[in-house]
Amino acid sequence: MRILIAAVLGTVVMFAWGFVAHMLLPIGEMGMHLPQSEDAVLEGVKTGMPTPGIYMLPSLDPQKWGDEAAMAPWVEKAKANPFVYLVVAPPSTDPASMGPQLAKQVGSDFLGCLIAAWLLAATAWGFGARVLGAAGMGVFAWTASIVPMWNWYRFPTDYMVGGFIEQGAGWLLAGIAIAWWLGRK
């Protein structure tokens, strides 16, 4: 029960930090820009990428990566064009409603805080070490998920920095709540 309560407290703090980072500070939008010709881009996506999924441009069928005849024109095209990493999802029935996304966020925050509380409760660490342990988990999450997006899919550096701030600060703050509760007698 002690771990569960620590996880709930951490979840509240983590979710509140996410609100602050995305709604009150510019952290959640770091690296994002608006297209100059949105209607033309959307029309191109509808016709050129009709199936939901992830697209990378210029593209090459992965089965042809070892084929030098197919690789040569792709390499030239890649040198001459911007790299595009695009996620295509079906249209939302209610794009103004964030209810389902908020519920998923609370769920993922709770799962992360439950794991953190369980791991931190298994240590003999004091308050400060547990807080740093939770912050370390945030840095781990950042290096395992956001840094590869920057490295392999060329996400902007400011997006990567924003992710570091969001994950590092979020897990530091959640770690304070978790460590405080776990340290209570």
Per-residue pLDDT of 110-163, as tens digits, reads 999 999 999 999 999 999 999 999 999 999 999 999 999 999 999 999 999 999
Query: In the prediction, which pLDDT does 31 show?
Result: 87
pLDDT digits (tens, 9 = 90+) for 3-31: 999 999 999 999 999 999 999 999 988 88
- Please say if the pLDDT value at position 95 is more than 80: no
Decide if pLDDT at 79 tops 90: yes
Work out the average pLDDT over 31-56. Answer: 90
Residue 57 gets the label, from left (phi > 0), alpha (psi -120 to 50) or beta, of beta
pLDDT-derived band at 82, boundaries 50, 70, 90: very high
Q: What is the pLDDT of residue 92?
A: 80
Amino acid at 23: M
Q: How many angstroms from the chain centroid is the CA of residue 78?
A: 26
- Calculate Rg over the CA atoms of the chain: 21
Domain-wise residue ranges, the chain: 2-44+95-183, 53-88
Closest alpha carbon to 141 in 99, 113, 122: 113
Tally helices (H) and strands (E) across the chain: 7, 2
pTM above 0.85, yes or no: no
